[in-house]
Structure 1
């Protein structure tokens, strides 16, 4: 009998609970801090909508990574349950300390823990974790599954629109100069993830043009005959549904399954603010 390998990811990956459960993926929660209260994502008070409301009310909102101790406890529990190895697929180390926490916890784990820095954010992390789970289901080793996750993350593209760069600036996820430039020109910024960093991709004049441009960028992003697509949003369900419907039409013949629409995780919501709209495209095996 081969090794039993378990995939661990974090709540930023936006994996629906039913999908994570069916694929045997364990989700470690990031933490959301509202005022002086720190809660694990998923606890009462940490829904994306509640985070958005706190931001609108100008409450103090921040996030923190899972502690090395909490991940150590998770790895020990998985070992006790019969796991021989763990592949831990997390959001980019350039925007979160989660990878560092996982690496620290891995040193003392009773089983092998391979930590994958996806260099990605949001649903793109989820796609990488699913790639690792697929590999394991096919009998791959932990090392091979980690490689599969890295490969898929590198081939995945994401673009997103925010109403304002202020929330990204507050959290240190984008430079103050870039945030000031966006505000001064009264433009709508489109951003992407490059090298694990949140970077400005281009600027458009209206939110309507931003929506159209997200469609175009998604179509150009991945040169593969078959693709999977996720649309993420924060308090922008109507626009997200419109974007998903348009992408369904534009990807006709190439789309695997349907375009999944979901609200961004609470921890990411704290940094992008209400009105955020994103698209993530990945090649399908």
Structure 2
């Protein structure tokens, strides 16, 4: 039997490291990756490393689909079997995916009460919210307290992504207002961010070279986060580990965040951002 009564559930775009998923007992419902006629459960039937190895040589442009309501229902049922009496679900932004609709539909027939929160983000922009909720639970917080903490982290999230190409995000149709830049920046390195209020992708300042793109990513991220407060930061990459490591070392040396780690972006997001994307994602709060 579990000691805390609130189960914590997210989806596979959250990019939370496996050790933290296990430590905090975070259930993750996978989205689906489609290569031609083959469909894979994200992170289960196809890992991030496998995906990025397949991506350059595939003749099929990958696509994605949200989990079914039954996928979420199985997660709710599993939580009930563990002894949880209610659940908090935090999903990828509703502006990016219909995943939240499946979570809500399943909640209507769940064996335990379920709160569903729109994370208005993806990757560790979502993952940091889930981790904050998990830590609030560990500190004795109930469902409303966990929700409040997650919402506070969500509203303070800063997330910038440098793309090596616009091809994938354009084909995926997930760039929202950034489409107006398509014709003018197709041959340069786009910089995009996630608006934490709307949960949508918006364009930022592009660059003409890989070096300048990474410099722009670094500058914009630290222009938007309060560096005077304790910072929790993830360096994310799509098969660009050496550059991610160099970026992490620079962040550590210049800003000394209280938490910093490197993670590979999930295949679901890699489908839209393409190979060699780099990102900085995190938040700063005085008491978090």
Q: TM-score, normalised by structure 2?
A: 0.92
TM superposition shift of 1:3: 5.8
1:227 corresponds to 2:228: no
Q: CA 1:19/1:172 → structure 2, altered by over 3 Å: closer, same or farther?
A: same
Residue 141 of structure 2 is matched in structure 1 by: 140
Question: Is 1:239 the equivalent of 2:243?
Answer: yes
For the residues of structure 2 that align with 1:263 and 1:172, how far apart are their CA atoms? 22
Deviation at 1:47, TM superposition (A): 2.4
Aligned to 2:258: 256
Q: Secondary structure at the match of 1:204?
A: coil
Contact 2:47 2:267 in 1 (8 A): yes
**What residue in structure 1 maps to residue 51 of structure 2?**
51
Shift in Å at residue 52 of structure 1? Answer: 2.9
Structure 2: tracts of 5 or more residues without a match: none
Distance 1:242 1:222, change over 3 A: same
Q: Does the alignment pair 1:197 with 2:200?
A: yes
Q: Residues of 2 paired with 1:29 and 1:260: CA distance? A: 23
Q: Deviations over 1:82-136 (max 9, x none)?
A: 1111110111111111111111111111211111101011111110001111111
Q: Could you say if the C-alpha distance between residues 165 and 38 of structure 1 is closer, same or farther in structure 2, counting changes exceeding 3 Å?
A: same
- Output the CA distance in 1 between the equivalents of 2:251 and 2:60: 36
Q: Does 1:208 align with 2:211?
A: yes
Q: 1:1-285 counterparts in 2 under 5 A?
A: 4-44=5-45, 46-57=46-57, 58-175=59-176, 176-183=179-186, 186-194=187-195, 195-223=198-226, 224-252=228-256, 255-257=257-259, 259-284=260-285, 285=288
Instruction: Report deviation, 1:54.
Output: 3.8
Moved more, 91-100 or 2-11: 2-11
Contact 1:51–1:61 (8 Å) recurs in 2? no
Cα pair 1:6 1:86 within 8 Å, conserved: yes
1:177/1:217 Cα in 2 relative to 1: closer, same or farther (>3 Å)?
Answer: closer
Residue 16 of structure 1, CA deviation: 1.1
Q: How far apart, in 1, do the equivalents of 2:194 and 2:222 lie? A: 17
TM-score (ref. length: structure 1):
0.93
Q: Is the 8 A contact 2:205 2:216 kept in 1?
A: no
Question: Residues 157 and 282 of structure 1 are in contact (CA less than 8 Å); yes or no, is this contact kept in structure 2?
Answer: yes
Find the aligned partners of 2:83 and 2:239 in 1 and give their Cα distance: 41
Residues 51 and 270 of structure 1 are in contact (CA less than 8 Å); yes or no, is this contact kept in structure 2?
no
Deviation string 1:212-247 (CA, Å, 9 cap, x unpaired) is 122222222222521011001011111111111111
Counterpart CA distance in 2 for 1:109 and 1:79 is 9
What's the offset of the Cα at 1:50?
A: 3.2
